[in-house]
Amino acid sequence: MSTTYPCATCGSQSATSDYCDVCGAAIAATGAPAPQADPGAPPTPAPPTPTPAGGAIQAPAPGATCYFCGAPREANDVFCEVCGLDFVSGRMPAPANPTPSPMPPAASAGGAAPAGAGASGTTVMSSVPAEWTAVVGADRAFFDSNVTAGVVTFPDAISPRDVALTGDEVTIGRRSESKGYFPDIDLASPVDDPAVSRRHAILQRQADGSYAVLDVGSTNGTWLNDEDDPLAHGVLRALHDGDRLLLGAFTCITIRHAPPAPTP
């Protein structure tokens, strides 16, 4: 008969593989142990052999989509091919070249974080000087055009900060210590933009060393320069020197084809 997935929250057998079709709890997060994939490895298809009934997580129903970015998902996929979400652990992909985190408070707070804490994407610093920089600041006009007045106040005191773009993938979001998620460009501090999604977007390095942006399913969208519509979720857009990304309630990230300014 049809495949079912045990729900650890309510104990029912769900016909859907992402969330329990009775109580709505996530199956991947709470289900039985699943085959472990090397987080650093490129996406490899899982063996197509179905696990015996009552066993581990099984292939999703045909027509299933990534429960993070909504991209179509093949039955054998372990990772989402668009946003890279690990369907088994529910985590975003590891940076290509993990090195110790430059954010000690975040890393130490993750004491309870699983071994995959690195996989949640701390800033990757490499010895090669960065050629691209993201300047993180706030844009008053963008803030004024959003419907957040009264809920969020504009951070008048914010001073733009430079983030060197070095890894193959730079995550943009808001850190969650409880979930062990630390994006490279953290918009929860020093100034918190509450309208940015935890996992908002990623910058992906292209073959020529430049970066492209990918909105990984943010709640409130990401705008490129003065375009009318927000970026379509899951679609890569190339970035050029001087391009501006507008997101959250007020955040403006300017992409510069230059190394970061030296810190005073």
Which of the stretches 36-44, 102-110, 137-145, 157-165 binds other proteins when contact is defined by CB under 8 A?
137-145
- Residue 220 binds other proteins (CB under 8 A): yes
Phi, psi of 173 (to 5 degrees): 180, -155
CB 123 within 8 A of CB 106: no
- Residue 137 binds other proteins (CB under 8 A): no
Which position among 73, 91, 199, 233 is part of the footprint of other proteins (CB under 8 A)? 233
DSSP state of 239: -
CB 54 within 8 A of CB 13: no
Nearest-angstrom CA–CA distance, 62 and 73: 8
- Residue 148 binds other proteins (CB under 8 A): yes
Can you read off the two tokens belonging to residue 182?
Answer: 């630390």
Residues 14, 16, 22, 26, Cα dihedral to 10°:
100
Which position among 38, 156, 208, 226 is part of the footprint of other proteins (CB under 8 A)? 226
C-beta of 194: minimal distance to other proteins in Å? 4
Q: Quickly count: other Cβ atoms within 10 Å of residue 183's Cβ.
A: 26
The pattern of x and - marking residues 190 through 209 that bind other proteins according to CB under 8 A reads --x-xx--------------
Interface with other proteins (CB under 8 A): 10, 16, 18-26, 29, 63, 65, 67, 70, 139, 141-142, 144-148, 151-152, 178, 192, 194-195, 219-221, 223, 225-229, 233, 246
